[in-house]
Amino acid sequence: MSNAGAKRPRGPGVVRRGIRKPMVIELPARVKPAGPPNPGRAAQTFVLGLGLIIGAGTALLASPWTTESGASTPVVDALFTAVSAVSVTGLVSVDTASHWNFWGEAVILGLIQIGGLGFMVGASIILLLLRRGTTRLSDLLLVKEGAPTVSLREAVQLSRQIVIFTFSVEAVGAVLLTLRFWQDMPFSQALWTGVFYAVAAFCNAGFDLQGDFVSLIPYQTAIELNIVVMLLIQAGALSYVVLADAARRRRWSRFAVDTKLVLLLNGVLLLFGTIIFLTVEWEGSLAATADGWKPLVALFQSVSARTAGFASVDLGEARSVTLFIWMALMFIGGASGSTAGGVKLATIAVIGSALVSTLKGAEETQIFGRRVPTPLVFRAMAVVAIMLLVHFAATSALVATQAWFRGEEVTFIALMFETMSALAAVGLTTGITPTLTDAGKLILCVVMFFGRLGPLTVVFALQRRQRPSRLRFPAAPVRIG
């Protein structure tokens, strides 16, 4: 067979190429992957942010352009006012209406709004900045104690809804209050007063613009104003989460356990406070009030007692038993994730349920057909114990400073009441705040700051420290009772 025309296969050959100049390629240094964010650092950042806001507010309030007289405000009083506003407490060492001008009142209102939007919103934003882009299960954000975790995207959405809810409720309240104040003052003044009270009431901060430290005593029989202010206080104290859950599910049987606990205990405490105040103070601080208006005044005081700080009677004339019971109401406060202070309604409800379950002989705490984890009960007890310990220490320090630096004696019940009002971020007072020494005011500044951050910080820290244990120690018989 002929092979003519077939291609000859190529054999091995030598390929000659020029050698290029050697090149050195530098590889980037290995970057250590970022670990999970440090919750302690996040908490420190949050506290630092609040401290900077308080510092800026103090500097503005200490300047002469924020006062009616044009003179500088003592730094201690400026600091006290700034801390009270940011912690949405309402205690004041100088009269808000007569001491501050419009710009001073605007600074106070801004500080109230910043503090009143809630630390849940602030915590959500901070954790979003620290954990941007993560999708790991370990980086989910726990919005509130006892609730399921939500992702960061859901946390941002929740924060946005809270902000919209806050501004919407405040706007409606401002319109209604402006219309009422317009009956007694020019429109421009009524508008500013209505906006100020709407924000202060929703944020549960007891600042007022009536002058002479009288709070809302001049309007104790103004039924429309009382109703609007009480609704604003309740909207802020019950939290958006609870109200949204109730509005969405609409039936008691479908409510979340947390919503049931908050609404039930809130209603019981409102009724209890109204009956107690009406009964004990009928011939006391209510003596000058017409009989037909006494139930309204008692209800207003019961609503305001647990965190708002507004007063329609002079609590300096209230009886000791009323002040003692009011300290308990202030200590409880409002709902978790709200503008309210205190140890929170759900915390007390969990402890109360644990007590009832124990008396029934149950091994675990039960609420509405659900089991409450034992670690949650322990955390609730820890929050209450720490807050009571701080109240005891702060009251002792306040008594000592009044005796050492002022040489005058203020009743012990009044100092206890003042300290609890600061710790629970309430703002009610028997009238002794302006008479406190500078040392006493500084003590209350620390107490107000801790009272606002303390319960949330304790719960978060205890939850982060909890670790499942594979070992169990032998049971020890301990004699109690």
The secondary structure of residue 475, as a DSSP letter, is P
Q: Could you read off the pLDDT of 111-160 as tens digits, one per residue?
A: 999 888 766 575 445 444 444 444 333 333 333 333 334 455 666 777 78
The secondary structure of residue 371, as a DSSP letter, is E
Quote the pLDDT of residue 376. Answer: 83
Residue 325 burial (CB count, 10 A): 17
Confidence of residue 94 (pLDDT cuts 50, 70, 90): very high
Enter the tokens of residue 323: 């002040």
Residues 6+ apart with CB under 8 A from 125: 156, 159
The whole-number average pLDDT for the span 355-374 is 85
The whole-number average pLDDT for the span 386-398 is 93
Quote the pLDDT of residue 131. Answer: 43
Quote the pLDDT of residue 371. Answer: 85
The whole-number average pLDDT for the span 68-92 is 93
The whole-number average pLDDT for the span 90-102 is 92
Quote the pLDDT of residue 126. Answer: 47
For the ranges 48-62, 191-205, 448-462, which has the lowest average pLDDT? 448-462
d(CA 315, CA 322): 9
Quote the pLDDT of residue 68. Answer: 92
Quote the pLDDT of residue 362. Answer: 83
Q: Could you read off the pLDDT of 184-205 as tens digits, one per residue?
A: 999 999 999 999 999 999 999 9
Which residues does residue 372 pair with via DSSP β-bridges, in sequence order? Answer: 365
Quote the pLDDT of residue 148. Answer: 38
CA geometry: angle at 55 spanning 51 and 60, to 5°?
150
CA geometry: angle at 468 spanning 467 and 469, to 5°?
110
Q: Could you read off the pLDDT of 235-273 as tens digits, one per residue?
A: 988 888 889 889 898 888 888 888 899 999 999 999 999
Assess contact for 242 and 258: CB atoms under 8 A. Answer: yes
Quote the pLDDT of residue 19. Answer: 53
The better pLDDT of the pair 89, 457 is held by 89
Confidence of residue 456 (pLDDT cuts 50, 70, 90): low
pLDDT value at 276 more than 80:
yes
Q: What is the pTM of this model?
A: 0.82
Quote the pLDDT of residue 144. Answer: 39
d(CA 424, CA 421): 5
d(CA 88, CA 309): 9
For the ranges 146-155, 274-283, 360-369, 377-386, which has the lowest average pLDDT? 146-155
Average pLDDT, the chain: 82
The whole-number average pLDDT for the span 288-317 is 91
DSSP secondary structure string for all residues of 5-66 = TPPPPP-------PPPPP---PPPPPPPPP----HHHHHHHHHHHHHHHHHHHHHHHHSGGG
The whole-number average pLDDT for the span 428-450 is 91
C-alpha distances out from residue 124 to 118, 131, 149, 157, 402, Å = 10, 10, 12, 10, 40
Confidence of residue 13 (pLDDT cuts 50, 70, 90): low
Selection from 277, 281, 214 nearest residue 431 by Cα: 214
The secondary structure of residue 370, as a DSSP letter, is E
Q: What is the 3-state secondary structure (H, E, C) of 111-135?
A: HHHHHHCCHHHHHHHHHHHHCCCCC
d(CA 177, CA 194): 5
The whole-number average pLDDT for the span 394-413 is 82
The whole-number average pLDDT for the span 80-92 is 92
For the ranges 95-99, 320-324, 343-347, 360-364, which has the lowest average pLDDT? 360-364
Quote the pLDDT of residue 143. Answer: 39
Helix axes 187-202, 152-181, angle to 10 degrees: 140
Handedness of CA 351, 356, 362, 365 (dihedral sign): negative
DSSP secondary structure string for all residues of 310-357 = --SS-GGGS-HHHHHHHHHHHHH-S-TTSS--SS-HHHHHHHHHHHHH
What is the radius of gyration, based on Cα positions, of the chain? 29
d(CA 481, CA 474): 22
Enter the tokens of residue 23: 């090149």
Helix axes 223-238, 294-305, angle to 10 degrees: 20
Selection from 118, 71, 131, 22 nearest residue 334 by Cα: 118
d(CA 435, CA 94): 10
Report the SS3 class of residue 372: strand
For the ranges 223-227, 428-432, 470-474, which has the lowest average pLDDT? 470-474
d(CA 338, CA 118): 6
